[in-house]
Amino acid sequence: MLIGVPKEIKNHEYRAGMVPGSVREVIAHGHEVIVETNAGSGIGFTDDDYVAAGATIVDTAEEVFAKAEMIVKVKEPLAEERKRLRKDQILFTYLHLAPDMPQTQDLVDSGAVCIAYETVTGRTGGLPLLAPMSEVAGRMSIQAGAQCLEKSRGGLGMLLGGVPGVSPAKCVVIGAGVVGSNAIRMAVGLGARVVVLDRNVDALRRVTSEFGSRVETVFSSQESLEQEVTTADLVIGGVLIPGAAAPKLVTEEMVKNMKPGSVLVDVAIDQGGCFATSKATTHAEPTYIKHDVVHYCVANMPGAVPRTSTFALNNVTLPYIITIANKGYHEALARDPHLLNGLNVYKGKVTEKSVAENLGFEYVDPKDALEISYDTL
């Protein structure tokens, strides 16, 4: 199979779909890889590094899309990239379609086979291709939040961990999943007063088991959420519903009642955000102030540390890339129900139920779309 890696073009996106080491692995299985020139420049890899791994360098993204049977990216394709997709071409990347009608419609119209990293499931549960970026984003959320608390950024002028004799900031983490647990580790390490809310008592038990009395765990309800958010200095939103738009847990009224200069970091912004006042921002202009509260809502947070993020992502995507290349998309999807869960759009049909319901498309079961017998799975 001929695999193509275009250069990412989203604002301040420096990650690459494949590193030279991944290219070498794929080529060892008998496949070919073409890489757009300078695709790895943002993470310290030159065209020569990719050539040494066995890739062919091409000058334009148009050539990558025109030749490749499978496109491997990091971020969702922008409008100009979506126009280049063709029928039966495989697109393997993050998509986050639930809040994005224009992208979904373009992918439907393209006739491509679109597999989303974020809805591929793991054999032991969880979302293995989302987890590494959630780990990065969770850890970064505390770094970003701590900076936003500085007066020059519009914040309270407060040091997250305080100093002897001065209280630390109160950091409220909504969600005790992968994002939340990594945010907690960083916040505890910096000396913040940490409160975590979740509706899953087992998740709260895991937090208590790891952090003990250093973290206060609270069962999430309308009452407890309002009480903790309105008294917080920093709030991290890390709630995810796989494939669906994030729930708006923090209302505008709650934001209005927060302390002036307090900070909201919405890690769920890729899925529409979990704060009612959230709107996507970029690394170029990461924050805005609404109701005197600093909002940090960068839609590709891990893009700020592209080298770490790219290696972490490649570690988990490479086995799937090799499987799809070795078997072809139909057999690969038919024989792995967890990979099949990643199929969001298939030749003009929406095959991810939450996306179809959220955007008003007709839902087609992926097994029916691929004409897979249930005995196969």
141 appears as a binding residue in the annotation: no
Task: Give the angle 103-65-321 at the CA atoms, nearest 5°.
Answer: 85
- Residue 365's H or E segment, with its range, is none
Token pair belonging to 304: 């700020």
pTM of the entire predicted model: 0.86
Say whether 245 counts as a known binding-site residue.
no
pLDDT of residue 219: 98
Region of residue 64 (phi > 0: left; psi between -120 and 50: alpha; otherwise: beta): alpha
Domain co-membership, 299 together with 318: no
For residue 377, the model assigns a pLDDT of 54
If asked whether residues 316 and 298 sit together in one domain, one would say no
Same domain, 216 and 312: no
Structure-model confidence comparison of residues 185 and 271, the more confident one: 185
59 contact partners, CB below 8 Å, separation of at least 6? 36, 37
Instruction: Give CA–CA dist 104/88, Å, rounded.
Output: 16
To the question of whether residue 254 is assigned a binding role by annotation, the answer is no
Q: In this structure, are 217 and 312 located in the same domain?
A: no
Pairwise CA distance, residues 207 & 188, whole Å: 12
Per the structure, how many domains does the chain have? 2
Give the burial class of 78: count Cβ atoms within 10 A of its Cβ; 0-12 exposed, 13-18 middle, 19 or more buried: middle
Domain containing residue 160: 131-304
Would you state the structure tokens that stand for residue 225, as one six-digit string? 């959420």
pLDDT at site 99: 86
Structure confidence at residue 330 (pLDDT): 96
pLDDT at residue 253, as a whole number: 97
Percent of the chain scoring above 90 in pLDDT? 90
Split at pLDDT 50, 70, 90, the class of 240 is: confident
Last residue of a domain, one of 278, 304, 330: 304
Residue numbers annotated as active site: 96, 270
316 with 265, same domain: the answer is no
The CATH number for 94's domain is: 3.40.50.720
| 67-93 mean pLDDT | 97
Average confidence score pLDDT of the chain: 95
State the DSSP code for 275: B
Out of 254, 280, 304, pick the residue that ends a domain: 304
Q: Is 124 inside any structural domain?
A: no
How confident is the model at residue 236, as a pLDDT? 98
Checking if the pLDDT of 374 tops 60, the result is no
Note whether 154 and 236 are same-domain residues. yes
Residues 219 and 351 both lie in one domain: no
The per-residue pLDDT for range 278-332, each reduced to its tens digit, is: 999 998 899 999 999 999 999 889 988 999 999 999 999 999 999 999 999 999 9
240 labeled binding residue: yes
